[in-house]
Structure 1
Amino acid sequence: MAAHPIFRELKLTLRILSHNPSAVIGGAVIAAMVLLAVAAPLVAPYDPVKLSLGERLMPPGAAHFFGTDELGRDIFSRVIYGARISLSIGLLVITVAGVTGALIGATSGYFGGKIDNAIMRLMDVILSFPSLILALALAAAMGPSLVNAILATAFVMIPKFARLVRGEALVVREMPYVAASRVAGAGHGFIIRRHILPNCLNSAIVLATLTLGDAILIAASLSFIGLGAQPPTPEWGAMIASGRKFLMDQWWYATFPGLFILATVIGFNIFGDALRDVLDPRIRR
């Protein structure tokens, strides 16, 4: 029995990725972070929010691999649990921004004309602001909380997906099978759902992979200035914010959360670059 085309495509993609050094390195970093996040209760030796004032600001050692903070909490445990929070933030942001942006872009590109012009001008206005500055302003307006930081970060990323999918939709809407669907009496919603969006999926997946690291970085930046995760939540950006006061003498406090952010962002970026090359039909040929 022949394999389904989707499974054949997935198998081919995985085989090509396995021979790409960037994909292997990036995938290994991402897999390690995901495993740490999933197995946090098993890997972390201490409760990430438990206070131990008698062990405050201890340097890295056998008892505390990454040292302790000003309240005696184990930084290694907090960093591991922070992977859970930061990865969840990134996935939520990309899901909200990707789905919303794809729907906006598909609608804009499919209908064209005044609708397309109005939607794209709105996207241009959002893109005219630096992403971090706009996210900061939105989060400040809504109030400091992790949920608001996620919504603000997702909002500033919607135009990226909208413009990408809109460009794909402008091409797909002219295809013969779309014209045949119109002749057969298919509605606009059916055509967008069954023809436009599926043909934009590869590009959207690549963009999601490339921007997931940016989403984590922006959310961590909001937490760093007090507009994201609030104490005692073990979030990487918030940990760096607390540790900056002790950076000169207790370097480990802010260094280890920063290294995990760096590794995660680089991992997603290089994996996204490799995935883009693999999913580009011109390169695959």
Structure 2
Amino acid sequence: MLSELLQGTDAGGLLVIQDSVNYPGRHLLKSFINAALNREEVVHVIGFEISETELKDGLKRSLTERLHFHNAFTDPLGWTDHPAFTVHQFNLEDLTHVVKQTSHSKPATLVIDSLSLVLRHVSAPAVCRTLQQLKKGDAVRSIISLLHADIHQRGTVGSICHLATSIITVAPGLKGDEAVAKITKRLKSGKVMQDEEVFSIKDDFTVIVQGKPNHTGPRQDDPEELETDPTANLTFNLRLSDTEREAKEKLALPFVFSKEKKTALLHSGPGSGRILYEPDANDDYDEEDPDDDLDV
């Protein structure tokens, strides 16, 4: 599935690459940029965390002619008199102006490196609203963004991922040059596809998919996912021994009727009593209106 996403066949989507301090996702982000340039697409990069020189390092010079870098790295908060691009310009109007200022007829691919710095200074609802407007607009063909998931609250990450059509969560692999990609892709039909693949990135940012990860080895649990046993430090025992469990299973509960008792209650035998009522002359009873005596 990672190879299909790199081919960029789906237009009008939002792809989010989630990384953490354990494995950075910027090399995979540059692989997507390299793949888009090889398809002769125009790519606009809003660079908040790295410079233009660092972004273009390793990319072919012939391809970078269609790569437009918008410097939000030097002054992301607009402290100087003439900032190139700031986090406060992360809105539909300014982003559309930035993309359309170049003379290209086809919609471009917009790359945001990264959303994490924007989310530190702009509210999550405002960022989500801008991303949704860009998805529905005609200014960009697709949006690719890097998100450092471990520095945000889960609700913020969930809001961004809820808008995404594809999510790639990267983690380190068993070998030094390998990584694991957990992929979630939402189809237009509403179906959700998930996959997990081992990949490596070459020096020219070509992605090599090596297959499925091997889960037979010892699993490294995330410390946040480990749950403590609430019964570990109790002064009494909540668990039953085999003898106690056997005695419990043999115990007849008072509200559970045996088969013989059910039969005796449902089928009355000889000598059982019945209540018969015969109205007398003083009873004011009307068969056509049984509730006639009620004051309603």
Q: Which has the higher strand share?
A: 2
Q: Which has the higher helix share?
A: 1
- TM-score category by the smaller chain? under 0.3
Q: TM (normalized to structure 2)? A: 0.18
Q: TM (normalized to structure 1)? A: 0.19
Bigger radius of gyration among the two: 2
